[in-house]
Structure 1
Amino acid sequence: MSDSSSLHVVVLAGGISHERDVSLRSGRRVADALAAAGHQVVLRDPDAGLLPFLVNERPDVVFPALHGSSGEDGSLLGLLDALGIPTVGSGAAAARRAWSKPIASSLIAASGAAVPQSIVLSHESFRELGASGVLRVVREALQGDLVVKPATGGSAQGVSIVTDSNDLPRAMVDAFTYADVVVVERRIVGTEIAVGIIDTGDGPVALTPVEIDPTAGIYSFQARYNAGETTFYAPSRLDASAVETVAAAAIHAHATLGLRDLSRVDFIVDAAGVPWFLEANVLPGLTETSLVPLAIDAFGTDAATVYSGLVQAALARSERKARS
């Protein structure tokens, strides 16, 4: 094992999900930050050679920077745990809970937090029950504007805001392109806020909440990853009370879902200051335009310090487990 001040870290990036390009960008940024902190870093794609490589190399820590099913559905995380390799981030079970937006929302709602009213539809039920009949029930049950999104996945891929009910069928088709289950939820009007959570061993800490103000009015895939298409406010323009409330709500969601080390929790804060839970990300984007790095800077620290703290915490957790 390497000296604790300089660890051998494998950063995983790429994969075969729809978010491969974003993951590669995240991975490069993480690798650069860890190298700047003095660690020995290898950047790897999760391909057929990965598991034999890890068995042979036995790195001190693995840092997944994978988005989409490649890293967030719990499959790879479970294998890394089975190999006994210290890994930054949530465990497999927690990742599965957060990966499914309906499951995450159900758990958060059961904890007493505000979650938008929604209807969850599988592609199979949509076909068997008839699209027109299903959509008629949806329109009657969910009044006002709607948000249609895949039940899994990230980066706003397949997400539509529906202000005209005639556009609902198209939105369903778009969402089903990315997942076999779709969530249709009542749109909450307010301020979109993302809260990064970091835990390097002393308990979860909410980073500076980031306010998202996309130029086109929708925080789409393009608005997330193309510079200049979104204005970010860190700190946000919310009043101090609302900031405190949304930060506490993010820590609550992180704990309720059993997340670990690093997450990002997304909310809409309405006019009354109520934070409505949208989703939690166990492996949030860490690119040059992503929200967590922006929040890290606004919090008064830097990526090298934070990511190094996360790998140190993952190693310490593994050593404690080995001693128990």
Structure 2
Amino acid sequence: MSVDAMRIETFVVETADRLDRVIAARCPELSRSAAQRLIEAGHVQVNGTPIQRPAHRVRPGDRIIVHIPPPEPMDLTPEPIPLDILYEDADVLVIHKPAGMVVHPGAGHASGTLIHAVLAHCPDLKGVGGVLRPGLVHRLDKETSGVLLIAKHEPAYRFLQAQFKARTVRKVYDALVIGHPPPEGLIEAPIARDPRHRQRMAVVPTGRPARTRYRVVRTYEGRWGRYALLEVYPETGRTHQIRVHLAYVGYPVVGDPVYGRRTALPCPRLFLHARSITVRLPSRPEPVTFEAPLPADLTGVLELLENAQASAEESGGRSALPAHSSKTTTLSS
């Protein structure tokens, strides 16, 4: 494979460590074993010198260059899976992705993804923005529901992608968390792959900068415990960012099997929903907002909390509190 076909990542080491660990921490899509294979194959340079020993110690100030080959080609056969289409024109497709659906093919998910379904709806999408993730300008976790944008041709893909890179796209999520956080907050903490648990992300000093704002919409307290419904506004787009940040400050998302904790509240899945996205389209001069209603499985959870709250009020307990405050709490690493 030619070097020209590879993606190049360049960064400067901040903390002394093994080369394979540093690369895996700075490149979230790479496991440590994948980083080791790249090093042994001669795809890594330290200060301009090829290094093929994964255990090589790097020091603060060392400059690392990693050549990452593109993923192995997969057969993207269109599959007639139903789609909940919120909007469509000649440039874009806006979809309400259901929870439980993987967005694009990958290890263990060679079929049945949202991209397979989109290709059945838009056969001309192949190759737009890439072979494996055609048309995809952003992603949602498997268990997260909500609004997702697909570009239908290359100019539209570049137009939308430029807005994501410039961070002018406004995304709003609904999240139910355990506990009662401050009424408003800004969480600033760098995120990278967890060095101890490679399948997870974590707040890591050497990670990529990440910012998440939130506002408490309502608090609950009753037989199921203490919870808060948040509006969350991610200002960056790191993997698992909202889940990692909220867990880091002590208020994990309800139903999160990776970063959360068990509760008495019956919740069928991760309570995280990409409610809306505001973006400019190639065909319109002004920004447009697309919204996906909260799915029935999550509204059912809120009904349980409302009923428990009503019972607590009848018994003289604490009432549900709408959170209105101009105070913003900054929570950083």
TM-score for both structures, normalised by structure 1: 0.28
Determine which structure has greater relative contact order: mean sequence separation of CA pairs < 8 Å that are 6+ residues apart, divided by chain length.
1
Q: Which has the higher helix share?
A: 1
Higher strand fraction: Structure 1 or Structure 2? 2
Largest Rg, 1 or 2: 2
The normalised TM-score by structure 2 is: 0.27
